[in-house]
Amino acid sequence: MKKVSKDDNFYFLFFALLGLLFTSAMMQQLFEGGQKMILALIIVCLALSIVGVNHKQTFYRSWYGFLLTLAGISGAFSFFEGYDLSLVTLIALLFFLLSHTYAALKQVMLTDYVSRNQIVGSVCVYLLLGMSWAIIYLIQIELFPKSFNGIEDKAWIDNLFEVIYFSFITLTTVGYGDISPVLPIPKFFVFLESLTGSFYLAIMVASLVSSRLNQSDNHR
């Protein structure tokens, strides 16, 4: 069996994130009320992304495992009456995504040769940014229930896909307007995400693709 290396590790992360986005959409549309299953699928999809972390990076694997375990346990307790550990679950997921984003961005940027894996990695960073902001918005909704128009005040797991959808619409600066921030702090994070999305695509992805094309020309 081929070992995971720095030349293909981003593929695991890419497909894990796509799986998470698709399963969230499917559960939202076809299995209303299946909160426990959605949480389990989130943990499984994110756990699969750890496969792409080099086996020698024990610290990162242990840190990711700890955060996912914490998110899973706190999320399970939230389903029992009298226990509301939603903030703990969301904060653990946020730290997991931010840690993954930092590690992926570091590997994409600190390279002398731009491979296909680096291009996939830049897309993964973009997806991780959208997911991270979605969790930030969910935390804000937990703290301030009337933070957004178009999002109902209910359990975060029920709002998950709606917030993911809003986050990526904001990150790509499309802005359909069906969901919009109401309070000042959510508005701040919304325009910050819009700026981040615009500059990321203009600088990071464009420079990587340009470097890749230059490398191809030089090898001819």
Q: What residues contact 53, with CB distance under 8 A and at least 6 apart?
A: 9, 60, 61, 64, 103
pLDDT at 217: 56
User: Are the beta carbons of 147 and 200 closer than 8 angstroms?
Assistant: no
Other beta carbons less than 10 A from residue 48's beta carbon: 16
- Three-state DSSP at 180 gives strand
pLDDT at 134: 94
User: Are the beta carbons of 87 and 139 closer than 8 angstroms?
Assistant: yes
pLDDT at 4: 44
Degrees to nearest 5, angle at CA 140 with 77 and 29: 65
pLDDT at 43: 80
pLDDT in tens, the chain (220 residues): 444 445 557 888 888 888 888 888 887 777 766 666 777 777 877 777 776 555 556 666 777 788 888 888 887 776 666 667 888 889 998 998 898 888 888 887 776 677 777 888 888 899 999 999 999 999 999 998 889 998 888 888 888 889 999 999 999 888 788 899 999 999 999 999 999 998 888 787 677 777 767 666 555 5
H helices of the chain, where?
9-30, 35-49, 58-77, 86-109, 116-143, 156-171, 184-199, 206-218
| Rounded distance between C-alpha atoms, residue 112 and residue 46, angstroms | 29
Return the half-sphere exposure (C-beta side, CA atoms, 13 A cut-off) of residue 1. 2
Length, in residues, of the chain: 220
| Rounded distance between C-alpha atoms, residue 19 and residue 42, angstroms | 9
pLDDT at 27: 78
| Rounded distance between C-alpha atoms, residue 198 and residue 168, angstroms | 12
> Hey, what are 162's tokens?
């709606």
User: Are the beta carbons of 140 and 186 closer than 8 angstroms?
Assistant: yes
pLDDT at 32: 65
pLDDT at 161: 87
Burial class of residue 162 in the structure, from the number of CB atoms within 10 Å of its CB (0-12 exposed, 13-18 middle, 19+ buried): buried
- Amino acid (1-letter code) at residue 68: L
User: Domain segments of the chain: what residues?
Assistant: 9-218
Q: In the chain, what's the furthest Cα-to-Cα distance?
A: 67
| Rounded distance between C-alpha atoms, residue 163 and residue 139, angstroms | 11
